[in-house]
Structure 1
Amino acid sequence: MVNLMPIKQEVEYQFSTIFEKIDRDIELKYIYPTTHNYKNISLDYLREKYIPMNKIGEDVYDAFIVTGAPIERYNYEDVDFWQEIDSFFKKNKHPTIYICWGAQGALYSKFGIEKYELDKKLFGVYEHEVKEKNPFIKNRFYAPHSRNTYNKKESIEEAGLIIIGESDEAGVYMCSTADYKSIFISGHSEYQPERLKFEFERDRGEIPKNYFVENNPENEILFNWENHRDEFYKNWIEFIGG
């Protein structure tokens, strides 16, 4: 997993929780870009628990996951580790899930697909329709979104990618190459129930849509994306593992 998020332990917890439910022998290793200036995590922690991105060719992996990062309003070329991650995007031939900014960056690197700023932040939990028969998800599903930018559907289709999941409100959620080796996800099914509440309280912005019962922050959270999350990652592991 190429973990691009500032609070790395949170992402580690999110994905370890997901993979612990899958009845397969899964070894999860974490990777970090070496060209980034880290402010929220100590280099000692990274050196102890993570593999430098420039060393990943020395080990054998079955697949990768590339996380998002809170840098979506930056031009790609202005991101300090862009050259490093762009090189990875272009060279990587393994089955890979790219998430949020990781998906946008990979779509730009691989296909020249631009991102565009939304009029306001897309923030909440949205229902999606399965648009194309695929090995991972079968039925309508819910998933969280938390982003300020998007990719145009027509650009995705012009690149020859398959749209797997889409929402009338949130747009394209999941697309992939025809062989399913590269999967691009604009939302965050990996989120734990409390993550959007944390962002809401941190930013003091709009209430996340379809997240609290009756859209009231005093009420409990509607954790209605868990089944989709577990189904998708279990089926993805089966797909790459044979």
Structure 2
Amino acid sequence: MHDKADTNARFNRVLRLAGLPIVPHFYYPVSHYAGRAVPSAVSAILAPLRIDEAAALDAFIITGAPVEQFAFADVTYIAEVNALLDALAAGGREQLYLCWGGMAALAHQYGIAKHMLPHKLFGVYPHEQLAASDLLTGLPAGFMAPHARYAEMDRAQVQATSALTLVSETPAHHLFLVENAAAHQTFMFAHLEYGPLGLAHEYQREIAAHPERHYRRPEQVFADPAHFGGPVFNWADTQATFFSQWVRRVAANRLSSTN
């Protein structure tokens, strides 16, 4: 993620929503910095990835990354990511793959194809639940969640893969949640870790980096769409339910593996 310190802070917060003791570790892919010095802003808050160490943790999250417009083969650290995916799958730990992390995992582990969207899916949208999942227990029909991505995984291939369950999507059939519960794998394509200003900060970061380009503003984020004021946080219940339930899954899996 671009904003590594903010990302750490977001996950520190949401992983504690279940009220269970959590000791998070944060890593960067070593191959991403091959042949150059690791920036001090990175090394100060992230450790170099050791796959054997990561696979021994109770659970592992692979976050999004701003590379979904690249072919997987063109991502400089994809071999390291794929090796990590293999180790996590073999270890039977709970795995949560978010946004690009979900794309990379579905492509590597299940051969699901990625395609570019006509424009960035960017905003807060209602969702339909297609299959039961404890991760969404108690949420109403049309629950909200924020999305921010330029690409999508092939929905038909997901549905045709017997090991995978398409749990939830938007009314426009953009993926939200896919699971392989037997393999302890969760693929979530929204940015539920974002707080109320997350999408606004992403938009401002993009236009600051490339002021010559036109970027679509995030949809359904602000009470007054004419300016950035009064952001809504109507996915707070979705966020709390999802992360609380996922952490409880981690605790249950750990207990069963030690008995």
Give the TM-score of the pair, scaled to structure 2. Answer: 0.84
Give 3-state SS (helix, strand or coil) of 1:20's partner: coil
Higher relative contact order (CA 8 A, sep 6+): 2
Unaligned 5+ runs, structure 2: 208-213, 253-259
CA distance in 1, matches of 2:112, 2:226: 37
CA distance in 2, matches of 1:240, 1:85: 21
Give 3-state SS (helix, strand or coil) of 1:156's partner: helix
- Equivalent pair of 1:122/1:170 in contact (CA under 8 Å): no
Unaligned 5+ runs, structure 1: none
- Equivalent pair of 2:18/2:248 in contact (CA under 8 Å): no
**CA deviation digits over 1:154-185, x for unaligned, max 9?**
11111221011111136110101142611111
Q: Tell me which residue corresponds to 1:226.
A: 236
CA distance in 1, matches of 2:124, 2:43: 36
Give 3-state SS (helix, strand or coil) of 2:69's partner: coil
Give 3-state SS (helix, strand or coil) of 2:217's partner: coil
Q: CA deviation at 1:205?
A: 2.1
Of 18, 26, 30, which aligns to 2:14? 18
Alignment of 1:120-139 (within 5 A): 120-138=119-137, 139=139
Q: Tell me which residue corresponds to 1:154.
A: 156
**CA deviation digits over 1:177-206, x for unaligned, max 9?**
142611111110101211211233342622
CA distance in 2, matches of 1:150, 1:128: 16
Q: Tell me which residue corresponds to 1:67.
A: 63
Larger deviation, residues 151-160 vs 202-211? 202-211
Q: Tell me which residue corresponds to 1:195.
A: 198
Identity over aligned residues, as a percent?
26
Give the TM-score of the pair, scaled to structure 1. Answer: 0.90
Give 3-state SS (helix, strand or coil) of 2:86's partner: helix
CA distance in 2, matches of 1:239, 1:58: 18
Give 3-state SS (helix, strand or coil) of 1:35's partner: helix
Give 3-state SS (helix, strand or coil) of 2:247's partner: helix
Larger deviation, residues 82-91 vs 67-76? 82-91
Q: Tell me which residue corresponds to 1:183.
A: 186
Provide the aligned C-alpha RMSD in A.
2.1
Over 3 Å counting, the alpha-carbon distance change for 1:133 and 1:48 in structure 2 is: same
- Equivalent pair of 2:15/2:247 in contact (CA under 8 Å): no
Larger deviation, residues 86-95 vs 220-229? 86-95
CA distance in 1, matches of 2:194, 2:158: 25
Of 142, 145, 152, which aligns to 1:143? 145
Q: CA deviation at 1:208?
A: 1.2
Larger deviation, residues 197-206 vs 116-125? 197-206
CA distance in 2, matches of 1:62, 1:10: 23
Larger deviation, residues 91-100 vs 172-181? 172-181
Q: Tell me which residue corresponds to 2:246.
A: 236
CA distance in 2, matches of 1:167, 1:6: 26
CA distance in 2, matches of 1:48, 1:119: 38
2:222 counterpart of 1:212: yes
- Equivalent pair of 2:54/2:60 in contact (CA under 8 Å): no
